[in-house]
Amino acid sequence: MKMGGAFLSGSILLPLALLAPASASAQAAGADAQRAKDFASSADVKAQIAAMLADMKPDQGFMWRPLVRDGTTIAAIEIWKKPGRPAVHPTEMEYATVLQGNGTLVSGGALVDATTKRPGLVEGSRVEGGASRLLGPGDVILIPAGVPHWFGITGETLILLGIKIPAAK
């Protein structure tokens, strides 16, 4: 379905980085430092989620923390405990995989009462006329740049691995 974004459901392996086999000593010195930037094991992901949940205040509804990065492109863990504000990212598409929890995505339509909060982020009071989809672990979301969207929470948390990618020019 293409109404405001692509959506895939099921078990999907999301490669965070492709690492070539290392020779015995050629990459030994810099491998660990580079891996810290461009690779996260499943244990790293679980540990970061646990640390973020422990760091969240009782009334805090959202936390975002980088997991891996390549320059300005960041794959971050997003933890939602409360519904977010409806938003548009005018110059970036948003790609996310649901890691844990359940929620709802409304995307497409029109952002009502739009206000620019900072460059790259416009928020509103609601999305009118968007398509609603239930979200669960393994679901993959692609929201094109400029498309209004909103994440709702149907359990205690919705945990995403999210990446914002500059829109094609």
* 84 inside domain: yes
**What average pLDDT does the segment 59-73 reach?**
93
Count how many domains the chain has.
1
- Domain span at residue 54 reads 6-13+30-166
Please report the pLDDT score of residue 70 as a whole number.
87
Checking if the pLDDT of 21 tops 90, the result is no
Please report the pLDDT score of residue 101 as a whole number.
98
CATH of the domain at 128: 2.60.120.10
* 23 inside domain: no
* 18 inside domain: no
* 24 inside domain: no
* 20 inside domain: no
Angle at 11 between CA 134 and CA 43, to 5 degrees: 105
Six token digits for residue 54: 């422990």
* 126 inside domain: yes
Comparison of pLDDT for 82 and 35, the residue scoring more: 82
- Comparing CA positions, the residue from 117, 122, 54 lying closest to residue 86 is 122
The phi and psi torsions of 55 (rounded to 5 degrees) equal -80, -20
Checking if the pLDDT of 19 tops 60, the result is no
Please report the pLDDT score of residue 36 as a whole number.
52
